[in-house]
Amino acid sequence: MEEINELIEQRKKKLGELRSIGTDPYDEGFSAAHYAAELINKHGESDHDTLEAANLRCSVAGRILAMRNFGKLAFIHIADASDERIQLCFARDILQDKYPIIKKFDVGDIVGVSGRLFKTKTGELTVEVHEFKIVSKSLRPLPEKWHGLTDVETRYRQRYVDLIVNPAVKKTFAMRSRIIKAIRDFLETKGFIEVETPMMHPIAGGAAAKPFKTFHNALDIDLYLRIAPELYLKRLLVGGYDKIFEINKNFRNEGISTKHNPEFTMIEFYIAYKDYKFLMDFTEELICDAALRSVGSLKFKYGELDIDLTPPWKRLTFFGALEEKGLPEGTARDPEKSVEWARRHGINIPKDLPEGKLIFDEIFSELVEPTLVQPTFITDYPVEISPLAKRKKDNPALVDRFELFVVGRELANAFSELNDPIDQRGRFQAQSEAKKMGDEEAHAMDEDFLRALEYGMPPAAGEGIGIDRLVMLLTDSHSIRDVILFPQLKPEQ
RNA sequence: GCGCCACUAGCUCAACGGUAGAGCAGCGGACUCUUAAUCCGUUGGUUGAAGGUUCAAAUCCUUCGUGGCGCACCA
């Protein structure tokens, strides 16, 4: 950090001068009776004479964002947590010998004032300041008022500055809060209870991903940050819960991109005695409810795309979707034929694809996923890529599972949970084989989870929804970093 | 991990081989209804870092750093 900065020195000097006249900007603070938004909503429409007659007293506190000084009169705009700006008017006639203190103000300082509401000649609701106090002196200059802060690196690294000067950012995170609250309320209304399961796992299971590894000194064991809560939540189904959910972080030790942050928020919920078909209707209801309570509509823009969440959403089977693109299931299931087909259609198949990985999965993500702009359920996945899902009754090669896609991205993954402990053991064993063949992300065997299933887990359906991606969709954000307050970056220097 | 692009004053940007500049912010001054206030004056730079080419480098080359985007992996 560059400490020798003239601008900071000047502000420190002002701080010293304030202290020398007996007013410490960092002392006990200020208690405001009003929010800016409250005053503007209540009195913003009142005319000049009404306000004069009412003689309304008020107090507000906030950060100085703009100052216009006229020698014996000054107008200052502050913003507070209500996300509104309100104008303050400092007049020498009123403040007398205290008036010169405003020379020590800087944009960025936090001030508390009390006074009387009035309307200026231009009709703006304004506080005529009678008493004021700097409650926090800002030593660093804020970005310029007109262009603001646009440098994305600074915006992410110094999110506090981004939040001060870019109102749209606060709006996005207010939306995020509303979306998560909507989901919580929805599930609680349906009788779900929220639980918390471990973030540190001795075995990283419940998803196909590379974990972060850590070490517990006292226990002298390796632990992994969880890649999914799934296996713990299902243990709770064994324990007798029938409707549970968890909203929390997962950690995956993989690449960072506009759609991936190493730590990201998922909701997983489980409901006993229901299946994946139930969850499709349930998901439509849940996401529409979240959209209505955040966006306020089921129709909205995502970039150039017009998205319409009005149910029912399109439903396609996995191989049906491939077939629509001209790839018959028979060909898709034959590794050699499907590679040949992919090459012929110009689909890039990575050369170092691990043995355990399946070609049709690659083809699906290249060929089908990008076309799924409007909400679409893809159902009936192959068992090989679904080691925790229940097989279809009439076709054991497929499972009772769906993934939800919107704007070409996976938003949710759900299935009827496999509760046959013997089948589950076999699936884990198949995953172990894949791991030996070089698939780093294959599931690990989890003996305790199998023991739990052996006690008997009721039939159940479970689903995971990527909260960050849902927030991206509903806030028209095109990078996951725009919906995470502090996205992962390399340390400075 | 690979490729492309960017990095110049606190912020937003010029200068693209020939003396590093503007606007805003800051500092000094004028101003009692402004809102990107206005007017006069003025400070501020190891041009991301280190090497190299050149009489001369912000500018060309190399390496490194950080970021963005794309690809890969995944959600």
| pLDDT at residue A358, rounded to an integer | 65
The ipTM (two decimal places) reads: 0.93
3-state secondary structure of A414: strand
- Nucleotide closest to A466 measured between CA and C1': B75
- Nucleotide closest to A250 measured between CA and C1': B75
| pLDDT at residue A1, rounded to an integer | 37
- Nucleotide closest to A72 measured between CA and C1': B32
Protein CA A139 to sugar C1' B26 (Å): 12
Instruction: List pLDDT tens digits, range A239-262.
Output: 999 999 999 999 999 989 999 999
| pLDDT at residue A352, rounded to an integer | 53
Q: Identify the top-confidence range among A123-132, A315-324, A379-388.
A: A123-132
| pLDDT at residue A180, rounded to an integer | 98
Look up residue A282 and give its two tokens. Answer: 């349930």
Q: What are phi and psi of A387, to 5 degrees?
A: -75, -5
The mean per-residue pLDDT over the stretch A92-97 comes to 95
Protein CA A106 to sugar C1' B40 (Å): 22
Protein CA A78 to sugar C1' B34 (Å): 15
Residue type at A44 in one-letter notation = G
Protein CA A437 to sugar C1' B1 (Å): 21
Across all residues in chain A, what is the average pLDDT? 92
Instruction: List pLDDT tens digits, range A179-214.
Output: 999 999 999 999 999 999 999 999 998 998 899 999
Give the lowest-confidence range in A108-112, A240-244, A269-273, A331-335. A331-335
Protein CA A350 to sugar C1' B70 (Å): 17
- Nucleotide closest to A260 measured between CA and C1': B75
Which residues of A are known binding-site members for Mg(2+)? 403, 410
| pLDDT at residue A360, rounded to an integer | 80
Q: Is the pLDDT of residue A135 over 70?
A: yes
Instruction: List the single protein residue with the shortest CA to C1' distance from B13.
Output: A147
Protein CA A490 to sugar C1' B56 (Å): 38
| pLDDT at residue A131, rounded to an integer | 96
Look up residue A122 and give its two tokens. Answer: 């231009």
3-state secondary structure of A59: strand
Instruction: List the single protein residue with the shortest CA to C1' distance from B26.
Output: A7
| pLDDT at residue A346, rounded to an integer | 73
Give, as one character, the DSSP assignment of residue A229: S
Question: Band of the pLDDT at A43, cuts 50, 70, 90?
Answer: very high
Instruction: List the single protein residue with the shortest CA to C1' distance from B37.
Output: A68
Question: Band of the pLDDT at A437, cuts 50, 70, 90?
Answer: confident
Give the lowest-confidence range in A88-102, A190-204, A349-363, A452-466. A349-363
| pLDDT at residue A388, rounded to an integer | 94
- Nucleotide closest to A491 measured between CA and C1': B66
Q: Is the pLDDT of residue A143 over 90?
A: yes
* Nearest of A127, A174, A161, A166 to residue A32 by alpha carbon: A127
Q: What are phi and psi of A320, to 5 degrees?
A: -65, -40
Measured CA to CA, the distance from residue A376 to residue A469 in angstroms comes to 15
- Nucleotide closest to A265 measured between CA and C1': B75
Q: Is the pLDDT of residue A365 over 90?
A: no
Instruction: List pLDDT tens digits, range A58-82.
Output: 999 999 999 999 999 999 999 999 9
Instruction: List pLDDT tens digits, range A318-352.
Output: 999 999 888 888 888 877 788 788 777 777 666 55
| pLDDT at residue A351, rounded to an integer | 56
Which residues of A are known binding-site members? 403, 410
The mean per-residue pLDDT over the stretch A286-308 comes to 96
The mean per-residue pLDDT over the stretch A140-147 comes to 92
Instruction: List pLDDT tens digits, range A299-325.
Output: 999 998 999 999 999 999 999 999 988
pTM of the full predicted structure? 0.94
Distances (CA, A) of A269 to A87, A239, A242, A247: 47, 15, 10, 9
| pLDDT at residue A2, rounded to an integer | 42
* Nearest of A483, A288, A269 to residue A375 by alpha carbon: A288
| Protein-contacted bases of chain B (C-beta within 7 A) | 1, 10-13, 23-28, 30-38, 43-44, 65-75
Instruction: List pLDDT tens digits, range A159-181.
Output: 999 999 999 999 999 999 999 99
| pLDDT at residue A3, rounded to an integer | 47
Protein CA A439 to sugar C1' B11 (Å): 48
Q: Return the percent helix, strand and coil in chain A, to nearest 5.
A: 35, 25, 35
The mean per-residue pLDDT over the stretch A262-285 comes to 97
| pLDDT at residue A357, rounded to an integer | 53
Give the lowest-confidence range in A13-17, A213-217, A352-356. A352-356
Instruction: List the single protein residue with the shortest CA to C1' distance from B48.
Output: A493
The mean per-residue pLDDT over the stretch A208-225 comes to 93
Q: Delineate the domains of chain A, giving CATH numbers in brackets.
A: 2-141 (2.40.50.140), 165-325+368-483 (3.30.930.10)
Protein CA A68 to sugar C1' B30 (Å): 14
Measured CA to CA, the distance from residue A290 to residue A277 in angstroms comes to 20
